[in-house]
Amino acid sequence: MSHKDDLALMAHLMRRAGFGANRAELERCVAQGYEATVEELLNPPVENEGGKMALLLRYHPSFLLPGGVPFSGQANWMYNMVSSDRPLEEKMTLFWHHVFATGNSKVDNCDQLLEQIDMLREQGMGNYRDILIELSKNPAMIFWLDNNENHRDAVNENWGRELLELFSMGVSNYTEVDVRECSRAFTGWTIQAKLPRAPYGRYPWKFTYNEADHDFGEKTFLGRTGNFNGEDIIDIILEEPATSRFICRHLYNFFVADEPQVPAWTIEPARDEDALEEMMDVFEQSGFEMKAVLRHMFLSQWFKDARYQKIKSPAEVVAGTLRMVGLFENPDPGVLNIGKEPTYMGQSILDPPSVEGWHTGLEWINSGALLARINFVADRVSNPELPGMRDIIDNMQAEGVATADHLLDACTDYMGFVELSEETRGQLAEHVRAGGDVDWSNRTATATRVGETMALISATTEFQFG
Amino acid sequence: MTSTKKDPVIVVLQLTGGNDYFNTVIPYNDSLYYDNRPTIRYEREDIIPVNDELGFMPTMGPIKEMFDEGKVAVIHGIGYADSPRSHFRSMDIWHTCEPDKVGTEGWAGRVARELDPNKENVLTAINFGHGLPRALAVPGVPVAAIADLSTYGLLTGIADADQRSKALDLFSKMYSPTVGGSFVNDYLRSTGTDAMVGADIVKVAPERYSSNVEYPNSPIAMHLRDIAQVYMADLGTKIFYTQHGSFDTHAGEAAAHPVLWKEVSEAVSAFFQDMQEHNTGENIVMYLFSEFGRRVRDNGSGTDHGAAGAAFVIGDPVKGGFYGEYPSRKAEDLEQGDLVPNYDFRGAYSTIVEDWMGMDANPIVNGAFPKLDLIK
């Protein structure tokens, strides 16, 4: 492989396993090798910081506990995505948020949602059983799916149903009776009594197991009978092949290539059945270790071959663009808005439309969302004063980019080795050639030209993929 | 703007999350209501009586006023057999009219395709909100999604007018249709083209609009006001879609449900006042639905997912009143504790599509379903 091929493959890995990387980072990763980079993503050195929280909070202390102000909570998380030096950890957090969709529309408490995100950040690359148990005890989730209203004498099925339908097995792998029995097993898994908000405001919610409210009666769940508690239910769920299939298909859809929407999974075959079965084998044999299945996936040829086979989610568009242009190395006042940007493209983080999360792939795209995506990227790449853009323009000058065609190629490469169709490239080339050769003696005009070219690339159909 | 020509338009207002039918249109003389709702109920004196049997929940006053004017039809027991009680699946069924398999086309998108088969107007159907409901999603049918009317446009950041015009020319070339392209590529291209054309046209709407009606300050009121602006601008839009929620009141229903309906009732009332002021009321029918009703018995702080629900059809062209029968609340008549649907939702769509829009409903809803005689 040529050096450029190595860089392009690395750009693909960093886009999927993170939120993209600039040229200097790509060069460093290529130098250490693909496998070593996958290992570094899975086990980032301790000195690598996650989101630069200390820096953010020095500028915006209110972002720590945004309470009832969802924009601050969203900005907090987006800033983590943009600034983290542990990109896969952050990407897995987003993955689990897609699966365990919990929303502020009901929780109305961004402190608790961010606490859930922290939990996913800490646990997200660990063992799936541990993740499910932590999730069952997570106060935001308990409140979101009403398990605090699930009582020994009055069963509330919301958590019990969604645990099976959306968080582990998928629909049609259990009966209504199983939902009921599962819910009974989680009675008493609740949060400590909530104090009135007035006059001191919000206070942290805490998980508690209320034995007196737990149904200790016999339960029959998925054909097994016993005096099951919540952990037993999770162990039984893990014995079902439907579970590893459901989670691996989610991973494939999120990291490799777009699958049909989740409700169609019982009907539509997997996009790559062999790949899915490989993942399931590794997942089960490892005892449901997320790192094992992630490692297998990133090292597989079918992953390496799946470039530009996924429509980027709005969070990926926003975080990827901001990393590319070097915003926000310092969290200036504009940082508040970065939490809102994905919302304008149809993905309100920390506030999915329902517990089913977002429809992905082509369903990210409609005319309104497409406008918002293109405008967001175009506005930023066409600003040559942004640090990332300044570096890109400096590099182009140092590389001696001289002709219009050379300029176009450099722009597509710096945007992530975007794979343009021949037709699109031809149309763009015609436009860029009309401006003649590159004139570095007028750096301001050339910088503007780079920005305009990159804005036009951001407007292509190809750039909507990642 | 004064319009006297009858030109049918539908406004769909989706009540997302599963509205509690039993607690919205209330059989207030039935002891089973009070027995089943020890906690989550409205008290007799707060319910707005409509007739001897039924009343509206307390914050539906503005809708009751329109009901008294004969402009509100209430459809009882709407739904379909074997409710999966899943939001996701149920909303999909309502959107695609496919209870037995996963559908790929939305019913309202099919209406748009029939109305404008040659895609002459990219604004035939518009969703007001972020993203696109599946009801409007049909491959190749242009649908705009307008979260906020005041900031809609493409490459608005290119300041130089000449450069922007060149960029837009190139954009339109890059997004022009190809022969033998993939489905995904075709979809992206047509969406991009529609976005550019639609944005160009729709920017005139706020300028053309003036009204004395003050809308309340709620998300649904803002969307209905945007709808009024686009409608009045006469851009040929026939299907307006928006949603409000979440009606998923498993817990805290006593606090949330009245607020949700207050917002809906006030916004809908303001919208129709606006239509009346502009003499356009006779062209508009609004349809309100939710993906399912909720369980008959409350769970102590809310209600769980159920089956049968109520739908509302509102407007000057509507024959007001109750349609169908309220499903039995007797314990022996419930299915898994839920009211059993007795009217197929596809019949309501058929009524609107045939009797209001004047189109053949069969290909829209995939079959023939009994209609209701509720359009004048």
Q: Could you tell me which of A417, A432, A419 has the C-alpha nearest to residue A462?
A: A419
Domain range for B309: 9-152+203-365
Please state, rounded to an integer, the average pLDDT across all residues of chain B: 91
In-domain check, residue B318: yes
Residue A357 C-alpha, separation from nearest chain B C-alpha, in angstroms: 9
In-domain check, residue A251: yes
Q: Does B87 touch chain A (CB under 8 A)?
A: yes
Using a 10 angstrom Cβ sphere, with 0-12 exposed, 13-18 middle and 19 or more buried, the burial of residue A11 is: buried
Q: Are A398 and A268 within one domain? A: no
User: How far apart are alpha carbons A355 and A72 in whole angstroms?
Assistant: 22
Task: Quote the Cα angle for A448-A454-A56, to 5°.
Answer: 90
Q: Are A132 and A35 within one domain? A: no
Cβ atoms < 10 Å from Cβ of B60: 25
B239: left (phi over 0), alpha (psi -120 to 50) or beta: beta
CA quadruple B312, B315, B318, B322: dihedral, nearest 10: 30
Residue A370's closest chain B neighbor by CA? Answer: B192
In-domain check, residue A369: no
Confidence band (pLDDT; 50, 70, 90) for B102?
Answer: low
Alpha helices per DSSP H over A256-366: 273-285, 290-299, 301-304, 314-325, 335-338, 341-344
> Are A367 and B155 a contacting pair at CB < 8 A?
no
Domains contained in chain B, number: 1
Query: Which of B102, B165, B295 would you mutate first to test chain A, the one with the most A CBs within 10 A?
Result: B102
User: How far apart are alpha carbons A427 and B170 in whole angstroms?
Assistant: 7
Choose the closest CB to A365 out of B152, B188, B299: B188
Confidence band (pLDDT; 50, 70, 90) for B5?
Answer: very low
Residues in chain A with CB shorter than 8 Å from the CB of B171 are 456, 459
B305: left (phi over 0), alpha (psi -120 to 50) or beta: beta
Task: Provide the CB-side half-sphere exposure for A12 (13 A, CA).
Answer: 24
Query: Which of B184, B220, B292 would you mutate first to test chain A, the one with the most A CBs within 10 A?
Result: B184
> Are A263 and B102 a contacting pair at CB < 8 A?
yes
Q: What are phi and psi of B326, to 5 degrees?
A: -65, 125
For the full predicted model, state whether its pTM sits above 0.80. Answer: no
The rounded percent of chain B whose pLDDT value lies above 90 is 69
> Are A148 and B251 a contacting pair at CB < 8 A?
yes
The first and second tokens of residue B144, run together, are 């705009």
Please, are residues B261 and B277 in contact by the beta-carbon 8 Å criterion?
no
Contacts of B297 (CB under 8 A, 6+ apart): B36, B37, B303, B337
The pLDDT, as a whole number, for residue A414 is 97
> Are A452 and B163 a contacting pair at CB < 8 A?
yes
> Are A427 and B173 a contacting pair at CB < 8 A?
yes
Residue B172 C-alpha, separation from nearest chain A C-alpha, in angstroms: 10
In-domain check, residue A100: no
Please, are residues B75 and B349 in contact by the beta-carbon 8 Å criterion?
no
Residue B246 preceded by cis peptide, ω within 30: yes
Q: Does B127 touch chain A (CB under 8 A)?
A: yes
What is the SS3 assignment for A356? coil
Using a 10 angstrom Cβ sphere, with 0-12 exposed, 13-18 middle and 19 or more buried, the burial of residue A170 is: buried
Q: Are A163 and A292 within one domain? A: yes
Residue A310's closest chain B neighbor by CA? Answer: B184
Q: Are A300 and A391 within one domain? A: no
User: How far apart are alpha carbons A306 and A198 in whole angstroms?
Assistant: 53
> Are B137 and A262 a contacting pair at CB < 8 A?
no
pLDDT 10s digits, B136-176: 988 778 788 887 887 777 887 777 778 888 888 999 999 99
Q: How, if at all, do strands B343-344 and B55-56 pair?
A: unpaired
Residues in chain A with CB shorter than 8 Å from the CB of B126 are none
Average pLDDT over residues B9-13: 98
Indicate which CATH number applies to the domain containing B249: 3.40.720
Q: Could you tell me which of B112, B150, B111 has the C-alpha nearest to residue B128?
A: B150
Query: Between residues A96 and B305, which one has the greater pLDDT?
Result: A96
Domain range for A18: 3-42
Q: Does B276 touch chain A (CB under 8 A)?
A: no
What is the SS3 assignment for A219? strand
Residues in chain B with CB shorter than 8 Å from the CB of A370 are 188, 191-192, 195
In-domain check, residue B326: yes
Q: Which ipTM value was assigned to this complex?
A: 0.87
In-domain check, residue B183: no
CA quadruple B322, B325, B330, B336: dihedral, nearest 10: -100
User: How far apart are alpha carbons B182 and B196 in whole angstroms?
Assistant: 21
Cβ atoms < 10 Å from Cβ of B306: 27
Question: CA dist B331 to A419, B20, B295, Å?
Answer: 62, 18, 12
pLDDT 10s digits, A169-183: 999 999 999 999 999
Distance of CA B117 to the CA centre of its chain: 23
The pLDDT, as a whole number, for residue B160 is 78
Please, are residues A292 and A341 in contact by the beta-carbon 8 Å criterion?
no
User: How far apart are alpha carbons A63 and A52 in whole angstroms?
Assistant: 12
Contacts of A382 (CB under 8 A, 6+ apart): A448, A451, A452, A454, A455, B157, B158
Choose the closest CB to B302 out of A149, A166, A460: A149
Residue A423's closest chain B neighbor by CA? Answer: B174
Q: Are A149 and A268 within one domain? A: yes
Q: Are A167 and A286 within one domain? A: yes
The pLDDT, as a whole number, for residue B131 is 66
End-to-end CA distance of chain B, in Å? 24
pLDDT at residue B47 is higher than 80 = yes
The size of the A-B interface in CB pairs under 8 A is 164
Query: What is chain A's pLDDT, residue by residue, as a tens digit (466 residues)?
Result: 899 999 999 999 999 999 999 999 999 999 999 999 999 999 999 988 887 777 788 888 877 788 767 788 999 999 999 999 999 999 999 999 999 999 887 787 889 999 999 999 999 999 999 999 999 999 999 999 999 999 999 999 999 999 999 999 999 999 999 999 999 999 999 999 777 665 666 778 999 999 999 999 999 999 999 999 999 999 999 999 999 999 999 999 999 999 998 988 988 999 999 999 999 999 999 999 999 999 999 999 999 999 999 999 999 999 999 999 998 777 777 788 888 899 888 898 998 877 888 889 998 998 778 988 999 999 999 999 999 999 999 999 999 999 999 999 999 999 999 999 999 999 999 999 999 999 999 999 999 999 999 999 999 999 999 9
Choose the closest CB to B336 out of A149, A166, A176: A176
The first and second tokens of residue A113, run together, are 């949602």
User: How far apart are alpha carbons A16 and A20 in whole angstroms?
Assistant: 8
Q: How, if at all, do strands A219-221 and A224-226 pair?
A: antiparallel
In-domain check, residue A156: yes
Residue A351's closest chain B neighbor by CA? Answer: B246
Q: Does B307 touch chain A (CB under 8 A)?
A: no
User: How far apart are alpha carbons A109 and A362 in whole angstroms?
Assistant: 31
In-domain check, residue B26: yes
User: How far apart are alpha carbons B214 and B180 in whole angstroms?
Assistant: 51
Q: Where does a domain end: A289, A304, A319? A: A304
> Are A370 and B16 a contacting pair at CB < 8 A?
no
Please, are residues A77 and A91 in contact by the beta-carbon 8 Å criterion?
no
The pLDDT, as a whole number, for residue A196 is 67
Q: Where does a domain end: A304, A338, A361? A: A304
Residue A328 preceded by cis peptide, ω within 30: yes
pLDDT at residue B1 is higher than 70 = no
User: How far apart are alpha carbons B229 and B217 in whole angstroms?
Assistant: 16
Please, are residues A360 and A309 in contact by the beta-carbon 8 Å criterion?
no
User: How far apart are alpha carbons A50 and A226 in whole angstroms?
Assistant: 43
Contacts of A260 (CB under 8 A, 6+ apart): A268, A361
The first and second tokens of residue B6, run together, are 């009858």
User: How far apart are alpha carbons B263 and A316 in whole angstroms?
Assistant: 34
Q: How, if at all, do strands B343-344 and B144-146 pair?
A: unpaired
> Are B88 and A263 a contacting pair at CB < 8 A?
yes
In-domain check, residue A380: no
The pLDDT, as a whole number, for residue B88 is 67
Q: Are A294 and A411 within one domain? A: no
The pLDDT, as a whole number, for residue B164 is 83
> Are B246 and A106 a contacting pair at CB < 8 A?
yes
In-domain check, residue B188: no
Q: Are A175 and A297 within one domain? A: yes
User: How far apart are alpha carbons A275 and B299 in whole angstroms?
Assistant: 44
Residue A286 C-alpha, separation from nearest chain B C-alpha, in angstroms: 32
Q: Are A151 and A38 within one domain? A: no
Domains contained in chain A, number: 3
Q: Where does a domain end: A304, A334, A356? A: A304
User: How far apart are alpha carbons B239 and B9 in whole angstroms?
Assistant: 6
Alpha helices per DSSP H over A17-86: 23-32, 34-42, 53-59, 70-83
H or E element: which one contains A209?
A: strand A207-209
Instruction: Please list the residues that pair with B312 across neighbouring strands.
Output: B74, B288
Choose the closest CB to B189 out of A368, A369, A461: A461
A232: left (phi over 0), alpha (psi -120 to 50) or beta: alpha
In-domain check, residue A235: yes
Q: Does B301 touch chain A (CB under 8 A)?
A: yes
The first and second tokens of residue B372, run together, are 């209701």
Three-state DSSP string of chain B? CCCCCCCCEEEEEEEECCCCHHHCEECCCCHHHHHHCCCCCCCCCCCEECCCCCEECHHHHHHHHHHHCCCEEEEEEEECCCCCCCHHHHHHHHHHCCCCCCCCCCHHHHHHHHHCCCCCCCCCEEEECCCCCHHHCCCCCCCEEECCHHHCCCCCCCCCHHHHHHHHHHHHHHCCCCCCCCHHHHHHHHHHHHHHHHHHHHCCHHHHCCCCCCCCCCHHHHHHHHHHHHHHCCCCCCEEEEEEECCCCCCCHHHHHHHHHHHHHHHHHHHHHHHHHCCCHHHEEEEEEECCCECCCCCCCCCCECCCEEEEEECCCECCEEECCCCCCCHHHCECCECCCCEEHHHHHHHHHHHHCCCCCHHHHCCCCCCCCCEC
In-domain check, residue A19: yes
Least confident of A126-135, A394-403, B121-130, B362-371: B121-130
Q: Are A38 and A137 within one domain? A: no
The first and second tokens of residue A384, run together, are 């040559």
> Are A365 and B187 a contacting pair at CB < 8 A?
yes
In-domain check, residue A155: yes
Q: Are A156 and A13 within one domain? A: no
User: How far apart are alpha carbons A34 and A53 in whole angstroms?
Assistant: 29
Residue B104's closest chain A neighbor by CA? Answer: A264
Residue B190 C-alpha, separation from nearest chain A C-alpha, in angstroms: 9
Contacts of A24 (CB under 8 A, 6+ apart): A391
